[in-house]
Amino acid sequence: MYEMRIGPGNTATGMAWHVTPKAQQTALCGQHLLETDPALHPTTETHCPPCMESFQQAMQTGHAAA
Ligand SMILES: [Zn+2]
C-alpha cells in the first residue's frame, strides 16, 4: 500500500503531496518526510512529479497491489 503525505516539494508553493510506501518515511522521490500533521500545514493541490511518476510505474508493474 502507498499513502499520500504532504511535505516539502520543489514547487512554487514549497509544499507538495508525496507518495510514500506504507509505514515508511522516505517518499518515492527520495525525500525524507517527518511525521507531520496535515492540519499544521497549508493545503496544496501540488503533487510531487517524481513521486507521481514512480507511483504510476509501480501501479503498472503491480508492486502497488500489496
Ligand atoms: Zn516526492
Taking the centre of ligand 1 as the mean of its atom positions, its distance from the CA of residue 19, in whole angstroms, is: 6
Taking the centre of ligand 1 as the mean of its atom positions, its distance from the CA of residue 17, in whole angstroms, is: 7
Question: Where are the domains positioned within the chain?
Answer: 2-65
Cα–Cα distance between 31 and 20 in angstroms, integer?
9
Identify the three-state secondary structure at position 13. Answer: coil
Cα–Cα distance between 39 and 21 in angstroms, integer?
21
Taking the centre of ligand 1 as the mean of its atom positions, its distance from the CA of residue 32, in whole angstroms, is: 9
Full-model pTM: 0.75
Chunk the chain into consecutive blocks of 10 residues (it has 66) and report each block's average pLDDT, rounded to whole numbers: 85 81 91 71 82 92 60
Taking the centre of ligand 1 as the mean of its atom positions, its distance from the CA of residue 20, in whole angstroms, is: 8
Instruction: Return the H-helix or E-strand segment holding 59.
Output: helix 49-61
Cα–Cα distance between 65 and 45 in angstroms, integer?
25
Residues near ion ligand 1 (CB < 5 Å) are 18, 27, 29, 31, 48, 51
